[in-house]
Structure 1
Amino acid sequence: MTGDNKLMLSVVPDPSTRARERAAQNWARYPDATDGVSLPPVVHETVELLRARTVFDLGRQFTDKQRVAIARFVITMSVAVGGHRFADGTADVVIAVSVWAGLMALLPVGVLVSRHYDAQAAAQLEAAGFTAVTDPSGRLRYVPPGRQHPGHGNPFVGGA
């Protein structure tokens, strides 16, 4: 996470002894994995946890107020541009304003749906033993069991 509130995915090597042991075991079990065919099987539960973690992190990128403000701006600009481009008379303006009002009325529903997905993802992560932590920018994040927030104890942060 950078200071300008951009969500950034960083893939860094895990320097722990356990990670090196897992890597050695995987190389021994799947020596031809580099061919792209002889890969380890996909573990559905692991993929679902990654999905839940991603959904939670993306859902927390902005506050509810920020998301509503962004949505209001996008809806207003979209309807204004569309209304200006296609309006031929009063009826078209009334339709554009009605579409705008309808979409604005749906914003609270979008917030509730977003909160629902965030809660589902959080419950799934907590059930898997993930720990809730607050990152330096104040966002709530989940880290795997026994791990630290990215950047804490990582020898690559601030270096190369």
Structure 2
Amino acid sequence: MSKKHVRKMLRKMASGEPVRLTVTMWSWEGLARLAFIAQQFGYEYADLQMSGDKFALFIVPDPSPQAQERAAQNRARYPDASDGGPLPPVVPEAIDLLKARMVVDSGSQYTDRLRMGLSVFVLTAFAAAIGFRLRADTAAVVIVGIVWATLMALLPLVLNFSRRYRAKYTAQLQAAGFTPVTDRSGRLRYVPPGGQLPGHGNPFSGGA
């Protein structure tokens, strides 16, 4: 987990407003650790969305008495957290559940049909880029055609793996008592036992 991202996030949280943190492609555990730290200082995880090679992590203030008490205690114990100082210790079980929520949330961003269309577009553009670098002669066209056909053949396998990967984490959330709900955009989300969607909906609607 990058200290730079932690400092940036904690400083944004000082405003008391919903926070959107954009980071270049990173590990699921690293993102879950960021959300966990936010939860130790009065915020809660709201959503995770993907855009190209970047993640957008959304967190919102948690007004619950437990969260506010925990935040006050941690601010007293870790006064230099936003300046790169010591941070509260992580709880592995909490990290695992945050990771599961992030995998499911990012996976529900697109339907399977749209995900297929986007993948075809990206892979076709990739093959075209190879052809451009190899110049437009007969050999290059053949090579590009082979590469494109290979990628298209592998695409259903990749998408199937992605579905199974999300299903694994969905099962983990269900086993932990999380409840499926549909947000304002029609996405299927999971909320903690007895909870609701963080921020009572999407405070970033139109800005995500």
* TM-score, normalised via structure 2 length: 0.63
Q: Give the Cα separation in 2 of the matches to 1:114 and 1:57.
A: 13
- Counterpart of 1:101 in structure 2 is 149
> Larger strand proportion, structure 1 or 2?
2
Q: 1:115 aligns with which of 144, 160, 163?
A: 163
* Cα-to-partner distance string for 1:61-120 (whole Å, 9 max, x where unaligned): 111111110111111122123213313632221111011000001111111111011101
Letter of the aligned partner of 2:64 in structure 1?
S
2:60/2:198 contact within 8 Å kept? no
Aligned-residue RMSD, C-alpha: 2.6
Q: 2:98 aligns with which of 34, 38, 50?
A: 50
Q: 1:153 to 1:72 in 2, by over 3 A?
A: closer
- Counterpart of 1:3 in structure 2 is none
SS, match of residue 147 in structure 1: coil
Alignment coverage as a number of residue pairs: 151
Q: Give the Cα separation in 2 of the matches to 1:151 and 1:17.
A: 15
* Cα-to-partner distance string for 1:14-39 (whole Å, 9 max, x where unaligned): 111222232344446x2545364442
Runs of 4+ aligned structure 1 residues displaced above 6 Å come to none
Point out where structure 1 has 5 or more consecutive residues left out of the alignment: 1-5
- Counterpart of 2:88 in structure 1 is 40
Q: Tell me how far 1:10 sits from its aligned partner.
A: 2.9
Q: Give the Cα separation in 2 of the matches to 1:157 and 1:58.
A: 15
Q: Residue 130 in 1 paired to residue 174 in 2?
A: no
Bigger Rg over Cα: 1
Q: 1:138 to 1:153 in 2, by over 3 A?
A: closer
* TM-score, normalised via structure 1 length: 0.80
1:129/1:144 contact within 8 Å kept? yes
Q: Matched residues, percent identical?
A: 56
Q: Residue 17 in 1 paired to residue 65 in 2?
A: yes
Q: 1:113 to 1:153 in 2, by over 3 A?
A: closer
Q: 2:192 aligns with which of 139, 144, 148?
A: 144
Bigger mean CA deviation after superposition, 85-94 or 63-72: 85-94
SS, match of residue 11 in structure 1: strand
